[in-house]
Structure 1
Amino acid sequence: MSGIVFAVVLAATLVLVHSAIPGGPGHGTAWLDRAGSRDAARAALAVLPFAGIAFLWFMGAVRSHFGEAEDKFFATVLLGSGLLFAAALFGLAATAGGLLAASGSPRAGAALRVWENGRDSSFTLLSSYGMRMAAVFTACVSTIGRRLGAFPPWLAWLGYLIAVILLFVAPSSAWFELAFPLWVLLVSIHMLATAGGRQRTPRAGGVS
């Protein structure tokens, strides 16, 4: 369930961030004069920490789903990349929040310089670092799920495809970032659908 919450919240946040805050250098600070853009940016930053918290719960749910049979090497990389992705989300929220506050300065020249530096830092943190950690996390989860037979082949190979997209395509095309919450949503639905069968298996073996 935590994965579904994370997927929905992160997807909504990404849409709000990229819709409200322009990423190109030619936009300047004109967007700051639009109340709708500022409100959308504030809303995105307000819910972003909850996406990070839900993602931590999702990581716990994934490892619990795999159980003790998970590959220790990939499990370690999974944990590390997941924590770094969560850190990138919180770093993005802090950086963009400071940007939004500082850009309200009445000194237009200073506000423009702050906006340009903060914009580049925020989007680089999300696309170049956060999404690449998400790619590593996706690949590790898919590998463990495939090796243990916990995922159907199509879900594992879809994870590999999305990992490649997040690693190479998402940094240059922001909307491809939505591939990650979509994958998390699919994995969460699969785990919920198969949870009952996985819980009944040990009991059936114990009876026999």
Structure 2
Amino acid sequence: MDRKHKRLTTPWAAGLAGMVFAILTATAIVLVRIALPSGVDGAEATVDAGQRSAVRTALELVPFAGIAFLWFMGALREHGGEREDKFVSTVFLGSGLVFVATLFGAAAAAWSVLDEGGQGSSFGRDVAYALLTTYAMRMAAVFVITTSTIGHRLGVLPRPLAVVGYLAGLTLLVVGANVPWSELVFPAWVLVLSLNILWSRRTAASQPAAPA
């Protein structure tokens, strides 16, 4: 496969992978938030069969969301090519990998609420929420800011979308666990970015080729 064709197909991969990640992650967050409210006292919280089913469904989606996010990262890096700034791209790569690691750690801790007796583990729930809302979302904030910076410098992101990215990153960085449901900002931003990538690719494909 020649390099030109490889470059043209990369935006499709980034856009589709980003959409898959956004949908799966948002679904998992909503299911966990509904089944396990963070304000419930862990010593008295009882997880019924319906809640355990919702949490189990959410946790089964997390590995696929992580895989889609890694694909999304790889496609974005390939799209940037050799023009990317080495310092910013290193932060981009590191924050994305740490985000996936903390996301998987939060999912592993959340399995503790699925014990057969239905008595949710306060420790497991607290660890899961801390990893998701405090650590994973901070890494997501760094990823959003660095991606917006790279996209703006390379000219592949429109200025309004770059501004939205900075605002989303600052929101995730500052708000964190203080505002429930704020985690949905990250998959929402990834979805908007993915739709922009797909739309840009479609627009470029519809334009007539320049004469040699």
Please classify the TM superposition score into its range, dividing by the shorter chain length.
Answer: 0.7 to 0.9
The match for 2:183 is: 177
Please say if residues 25 and 116 of structure 1, whose CA atoms lie closer than 8 Å, have aligned partners that are also in contact: no
Q: Is the 8 A contact 1:49 1:89 kept in 2?
A: no
- Residues 100 and 36 of structure 1: CA distance in aligned 2, closer, same or farther (over 3 Å): same
Match of 1:19 in 2: 34
- Matched residues in 2 for 1:75 and 1:48: separation? 25
1:194 matches 2:206: no
- Identify the match of residue 84 of structure 1 among 98, 123, 143: 98
The residue identity in structure 2 corresponding to 1:5 is V
The separation in 1 between residues aligned to 2:42 and 2:100, in whole angstroms, is 29
C-alpha change, 1:183 and 1:6, in structure 2 (3 Å) is same
**Which runs of structure 2 are paired with 1:120-159 in the superposition (5 Å)?**
120-159=126-165
Amino acid at match of 1:9: L
TM-score, with length taken from structure 2: 0.85
Q: Which residue of 2 aligns with 1:66?
A: 80
More displaced 10-residue stretch of structure 1: 75-84 or 55-64: 55-64
Partner SS for 2:90:
helix
Task: Please report how far the alpha carbon of residue 105 of structure 1 lies from its aligned counterpart in structure 2 after TM superposition.
Answer: 4.6
Change (3 A) 1:61 1:29: farther
Distance 1:66 1:198 in 2: 17
Looking at secondary structure, tell me which structure has more helix per residue. Answer: 1
> By how many angstroms is 1:85 displaced?
0.3
Cα offsets for 1:57-97 (capped at 9, x unmatched)? 11012112222211111111000000000001111111111
Task: Quote the sequence identity (%).
Answer: 48
Equivalent residues in 2 for 1:152-167 (5 A)? 152-167=158-173
Cα RMSD for the two superposed structures: 2.1
Q: Which secondary structure state, in structure 2, belongs to the residue aligned with residue 104 of structure 1?
A: coil
- Contact map agreement 2:99 2:137 (CA 8 A) in 1: yes
Measured in 2, the distance between the counterparts of 1:69 and 1:198 equals 20
Q: Whole-Å Cα distance in 2 between the matches of residues 80 and 197 of structure 1? A: 32
Structure 2's unaligned 5+ residue stretches are: 1-15
The residue aligned with 2:57 is 43
For residue 104 of structure 1, the aligned residue among 112, 116, 119 is 116
Q: 1:75 aligns with which of 79, 89, 107?
A: 89
Q: Is the 8 A contact 2:35 2:52 kept in 1?
A: yes
Work out the CA distance in 1 between the residues paired with 2:145 and 2:202: 25
**Contact 2:42/2:122 (CA < 8 Å) preserved in 1?**
no
**Are the aligned partners of 1:10 and 1:48 in contact in 2 as well (CA < 8 Å)?**
yes
For these two proteins, the number of residue pairs brought into alignment is: 196
